[in-house]
Chain A
Amino acid sequence: MVEKLEAMTPDERFAFWRNELSRCIRCNACRNVCPACSCEQCVFDNNNSGIAQKAAADSFEENMFHIIRAFHVAGRCTDCGECSRVCPQNIPLHLLNRKFIKDIDSFYGEYQAGEDTESRAPLTNYTEGDVEPNIIYERGNN
């Protein structure tokens, strides 16, 4: 499915995710169940953060909440799939995480988050062989 999404044009992909994410009711079940979401108190639950929020204000927030959450757990997400399973609106949230898992595997070598807790994970380690940020231009839309 990730490959199918990668094969889409940016517009098609945007339309796909808008259709899915527009159903979000921001119940935060995905966040609450996520074993990799490890903040003791989420910024959205903290009244002192200035951005405490119980509902998405607009479609931008609707999109970005899930995309940024996927970024935050990248490299730690074990692909357990609980986010999609608990979603009362049937949003396939795990697809965002799987894209990150796929990219980590292809750039840093096969990696299974959670398997080894002793050594440093690809995204928290630096080696001279790490991909440069300009990889994004070489990969085009993907």
Chain B
Amino acid sequence: MKALSLAKLPELFSLVASKEALYIPADDGAGSARFTRYAEGLEMTDKLNTVRSAKDFFFPQTENLVDFKVKGKEIEISDPRTEHEDFVLFGVRACDARSFSILDKVFLVDPVDTYYQSRREHGTVVTLACTKPEETCFCSVFGIDAAAPEGDARCFIEGETVYFEALSEKGEAFLETISPLLSDSDDSAVKAQQEKTREILAKLPLKSLSLEGFGAESLLKLFDSEKWAELSESCLGCGTCTFVCPTCQCYDIRDFDTGNGVKRFRCWDSCMYSDFTKKKGI
């Protein structure tokens, strides 16, 4: 375990940002937090979570896939990708961190999505343990431990100290980058914090939420439930639930006519949209 004085966190941010792009959750001035590229003076938010999930960094809302240029009878095909820069995503919570392994199961299996893969390879995820979960939190139901998040490295803010721990090679490299600022420490403060957090987690109202009754075999029965009639009345079909969802991964591929060619791009799609069912129609 490594330690750093909390007051020196801005120094750490500056050091990281001098080597690669750094994103931290910061207040957006409109009452919410969002992951923002670090610039001198930017402060980390006090809010538990960002509105938009951290999936945006690996699976952005829009992404150009391929360009076609027409010259007479020739069609020139080019890959619009530029080499991604290395980046550090700092302060990701345990719930968001778990979403990456779920997205990996979709995008990193054969055929591998090389756009997603490239972003994953260039990103280092540094998670932050929760100490004050909301009453609406229920990550433990899904086997997530908010007191010990996954990630390339994780950190714990306890009192006036930030503790760091590497969990992967990329995490080791991250700690190496910031090593001039770190000192060795034992893990007793972190252990005590985890114990306290887990006690809170055990008392949360949704702690005993049962997942029984979900699953392929009961899908049709749930689909036909009468409850949907009333629930769906207030739905606007805006798809925001799917946009902010850390694990929603549906996308649409469209062609943009540039006049002398086509830019093929993908953008998030949503099962809440009218043409979604038409397109994927059985």
| Interface set of A (CB-CB < 8 Å, partner B) | 19-20, 23, 25, 27-29, 32-33, 45, 47, 50, 52-57, 86, 88-91
Contacts and interface: CB of A to CB of B under 8 A. Distances in A.
A54 B238 contact: no
A45 B240 contact: no
A19 B269 CA distance: 25
Given A25-B52, A45-B275, A47-B275, A54 B240 contact: no
5 contacts: A27-B238, A28-B238, A32-B236, A52-B254, A88-B51
Contacts of A52: 254, 275
A89 B50 CA distance: 11
Interface of B: 28-32, 34, 51-52, 61-62, 236-240, 243-244, 252, 254, 256-257, 265, 267-270, 273-275
B267 A27 contact: no
Contacts of B274: 45
Contact of B30 (A47, A56, A89): A89
Given A45-B275, A90-B31, 17 more contacts: A19-B29, A25-B61, A27-B238, A27-B240, A29-B240, A32-B238, A33-B236, A33-B238, A47-B275, A54-B267, A54-B269, A55-B62, A57-B265, A86-B236, A88-B240, A88-B244, A89-B51
Contacts of A56: 62
Given A27-B240, A45-B273, A86-B238, A54 B252 contact: yes
A81 to B, nearest CB: 15
Instruction: Give chain A's interface secondary structure class.
Output: loop
A2 to B, nearest CB: 19
A85 to B, nearest CB: 11
A90 B32 contact: yes
B28 to A, nearest CB: 7
Given A33-B236, A89-B51, A54 B244 contact: no
The 5 closest A-B pairs by CB, nearest first: A29-B238, A55-B267, A32-B236, A27-B238, A90-B30
Given A32-B236, A45-B275, A54-B267, A25 B243 contact: yes
A29 B236 contact: yes
Contacts of A45: 273-275
